[in-house]
Amino acid sequence: MSFEVINPGMLTLIQDRGRHGYQHQGITTGGPMDSHAFHWANQLLGNAAGAAQLEITFGMLELRAEASTTIALTGADLGAELNGEALAPWCTHAVRPGDRLRFQSPRSGLRAYLAVHGGFEVKPVLGSCATVSREQLGGLDGQGAKLRQGDRLPYRALETPLDARVPGWAVPDYQKPLRLGVMLGYQQAHFPRTALMTFFSETYEVTQNIDRMGYRLAGSPVHCDLDGIVSEGIAYGAIQVPKDGNPIVLMRDRQTIGGYPKLGCLSTLGAGALAQRGPGCRVSFYPMDVGEAEAERLLFNRSLGL
Amino acid sequence: MRIEALNEESCIVYLGETIDEAVSARVTRAVAAIREELGELLVDLVPSYTSILVCYDLTRIDRFGIRTRLRRALERGEAAGGAGFEPRTVELPVYYGPEVALDLADICEHAGLSPEEVVRIHSETDYRVYAIGFSPGFAYLGNTDRRIAMSRKSTPRLKVPSGSLGIADTQTAIYPSSTPGGWQVIGRTPLAMVDWSSASLARVQVGDRVRFRPISREEYRELGGRFDEL
């Protein structure tokens, strides 16, 4: 049984935890841009932690169900409707054969996650079905294609509906001004102190240049003493600063190595929160200790049984 | 040797500052030692010229534990002096003919050498794989002889055919797939650099030695070489 794709929307991708263990071959990880929303969606359905879901960027997706099941919606509110009735995010919804699921455009946030009970059944490539279009890996066809009209998303039918919702304390408000912790690292010593003070005291704007590789920000430039560095591995959430001084946060589909100076990293959860912000949103930063990020992440893992 | 935390699940090990053989050899030895010592604690290891990015599984080890285990692995690796690690030499057939050596004429002019001399110098050099990145299987090799070194093209090509060998300064790279790129293309290998169905995936690994064997147009064709993708 499957969902038939009536309209694939702007950018809808199959994502699981990501393709780990191949970065030394130059293969990026992919995986959910917002780990918080992704993991909660699987949790609501009692799915395996990394079960494959749809990451719906911006909306416009339309699906038709062939069999009964329960889905979970988390992340952005993209104006989802089931047969014309509004669906609330951050909870489960029962779906019957013939039902039409339609997403409009962002009300709050940028990326929604749609999980189905048991996960979408997609054949993995190199251990993962995470779609990385640039590398032609993952997705329904195994070759990195985004969702297309007429695609069928296979799942196993479930007759008895499930009913679960994410507790209020775990539902983020994407409209709130975003303040993100930054762990200084990499070439931070080559950024003049005044540059780092600027970075931590000014507000930056999310530009139009945002994708699964990176988020380009604009604001008071942060200049580094170095033009380039010997290419090195780029951690998820690393903040790289090219010559123009505008920071770029490197996301899930980033290149594995690179030669621009970096001032530090966001946490996984911090980078995920940024991924829900679109062009024009404002972001500011504060210095964060690795221990703090570790504690935050372990608490998150514990509440989700990861 | 420095181990620096980056975020809650990764840190980076620096083993030197400059691009040279000795540092790269330390990186290769350290990668082997870390893999052996840390095994399932690792999510990803990304070696490059002077460093190794270590992504670890936070559900199994924390920021203090990883540092201790890494230090132990690195010390043992250095003490063993690379015993048990044999660098492989990979020979790659390369056709340096005009249909595929898109920038050979420019390199000749820049170097003041004939095509035969440029090819001889390029194929007589023993290369080392310093890093893999940019795109899956894209291998950065060094060191290209200074006599034929040339900087990147001022305007990158929108499409460099897969299998192309490029020169940028004292580096040589092989484009495993057709991507945009600005390296000066000197020839092409008929072999696929990445095989998705094989366990090792890529034909070369960081630390391997690479030698290029000039082949004729006929042999290039016999080995499956193509002249399209331009």
- Give the count of Cβ contacts less than 8 A between chain A and B: 135
Q: Which chain B residue lies closest to A18 (C-alpha atoms)? A: B43
Measured between alpha carbons, how far is residue B220 from residues A187, B97, B166 in Å? 45, 10, 18
Count of domains forming chain A: 2
Count of residues in chain B: 230
Q: A205 and A255: one domain? A: yes
Q: A202 and A122: one domain? A: no
Q: B124 and B211: one domain? A: yes
Q: Look at residue B85 in the predicted model and tell me its pLDDT.
A: 64
Q: A182 and A159: one domain? A: no
Which residues in chain A are closer than 8 Å to B53, comparing Cβ atoms?
23, 232-235
The per-residue pLDDT for range A238-264, each reduced to its tens digit, is: 999 998 999 999 999 999 999 899 999
Q: A157 and A214: one domain? A: no
Alpha-carbon dihedral sign for residues A47, A53, A56, A57? positive
Most confident of A40-49, B70-79, B159-168, B219-228: A40-49
CATH number at residue B71: 3.30.1360.40
Which residues in chain A are closer than 8 Å to B8, comparing Cβ atoms?
267-268, 290, 293-294, 296-297
Q: Cβ contact (<8 Å) for A236 and B18? A: no
The per-residue pLDDT for range A55-114, each reduced to its tens digit, is: 999 999 999 999 999 999 999 999 999 999 999 999 999 999 999 999 999 999 999 999
The answer to whether residue B229 is domain-embedded is no
Q: Look at residue B26 in the predicted model and tell me its pLDDT.
A: 93
Q: Look at residue B230 in the predicted model and tell me its pLDDT.
A: 55
Average pLDDT taken over every residue of chain A:
97
Q: A119 and A266: one domain? A: no
Q: B141 and B217: one domain? A: yes
Q: A140 and A208: one domain? A: no
Q: Cβ contact (<8 Å) for B7 and A293? A: yes
User: A38: which 2 tokens?
Assistant: 């992704």
Which residues in chain B are closer than 8 Å to A125, comparing Cβ atoms?
196
CB B196: neighbour CB atoms within 10 A? Answer: 12
ipTM for the predicted complex comes to 0.96
Average pLDDT taken over every residue of chain B:
92
Q: Is the pLDDT of residue B229 over 70?
A: no
Q: How confident is the model at residue B161 (pLDDT cuts 50, 70, 90)?
A: very high
Domain boundary residue, one of B24, B53, B80? B80
Domain boundary residue, one of A142, A170, A198? A170
Name the more confident of A16 and B178. Answer: A16
CATH number at residue A211: 2.40.100.10
The answer to whether residue B103 is domain-embedded is yes
Domain boundary residue, one of B80, B110, B125? B80
B2, B3, B4, B8, best to mutate vs chain A, most A CBs in 10 Å: B8
Name the more confident of A196 and B135. Answer: A196
Q: Look at residue B87 in the predicted model and tell me its pLDDT.
A: 76
Q: Please write down the HEC assignment for all residues of B70-116.
A: HHHHHHHHHHHCCCCCCCCEEEEEEECCCCCCCCHHHHHHHHCCCHH
Count of domains forming chain B: 2
Do B41 and B54 touch, CB atoms closer than 8 A?
Answer: no
Q: How far is B67 from B59, CA to CA, in rounded Å?
A: 15
Q: Which residue is it, tokens 């992440």?
A: A297
For A185-289, list the strands marked E by DSSP: 204-210, 214-218, 232-233, 238-240, 248-250, 257-258, 262-266, 282-287
The answer to whether residue B230 is domain-embedded is no
The per-residue pLDDT for range B48-75, each reduced to its tens digit, is: 999 999 999 999 999 999 999 999 999 9
The domain in which residue B166 lies consists of: 89-222
Q: A32 and A67: one domain? A: yes
Q: Cβ contact (<8 Å) for A258 and B46? A: no
The answer to whether residue B66 is domain-embedded is yes
The answer to whether residue B228 is domain-embedded is no
Q: B103 and B217: one domain? A: yes
Domain boundary residue, one of A170, A194, A226? A170
Average pLDDT over residues B216-227: 94
Domain boundary residue, one of A116, A144, A170? A170
What does DSSP assign to residue A33? Answer: S
Domain boundary residue, one of B52, B80, B108? B80
Q: Which chain B residue lies closest to A237 (C-alpha atoms)? A: B7
Q: Is the pLDDT of residue B204 over 70?
A: yes
For chain B, list the strands marked E by DSSP: 2-7, 10-14, 42-47, 51-56, 89-95, 127-132, 139-142, 157-160, 164-168, 171-174, 179-181, 184-188, 209-215
Q: A78 and A42: one domain? A: yes
B24, B27, B42, B44, best to mutate vs chain A, most A CBs in 10 Å: B44
The per-residue pLDDT for range B85-106, each reduced to its tens digit, is: 677 899 999 999 999 999 999 9
Residue A202, Ramachandran bin (φ over 0: left; ψ between -120 and 50: alpha; else beta)? beta
Q: Is the pLDDT of residue A19 over 80?
A: yes
Percent share of chain B, pLDDT over 90: 73
Q: Look at residue B195 in the predicted model and tell me its pLDDT.
A: 79
Q: B73 and B185: one domain? A: no
Q: A144 and A48: one domain? A: yes
Q: A128 and A219: one domain? A: no
Q: B110 and B198: one domain? A: yes
The per-residue pLDDT for range A270-300, each reduced to its tens digit, is: 999 999 999 999 999 999 999 999 999 999 9
Examine residue B143 and say whether the peptide bond preceding it is cis (omega within 30 degrees of 0): yes
Q: Look at residue B83 in the predicted model and tell me its pLDDT.
A: 60
Q: B132 and B159: one domain? A: yes
Measured between alpha carbons, how far is residue B100 from residues A141, B161, B229 in Å? 32, 9, 10
Amino acid at B183: W
Q: Look at residue A227 in the predicted model and tell me its pLDDT.
A: 82
Q: A57 and A111: one domain? A: yes
Q: How buried is residue A72: exposed, middle or buried, by Cβ count under 10 Å (0-12/13-18/19+)?
A: buried
The domain in which residue A49 lies consists of: 2-170
Q: Look at residue B82 in the predicted model and tell me its pLDDT.
A: 64
Q: B128 and B217: one domain? A: yes
CATH number at residue B122: 2.40.100.10
Q: Look at residue B84 in the predicted model and tell me its pLDDT.
A: 57
Percent share of chain A, pLDDT over 90: 97
Q: A191 and A162: one domain? A: no
The answer to whether residue B227 is domain-embedded is no
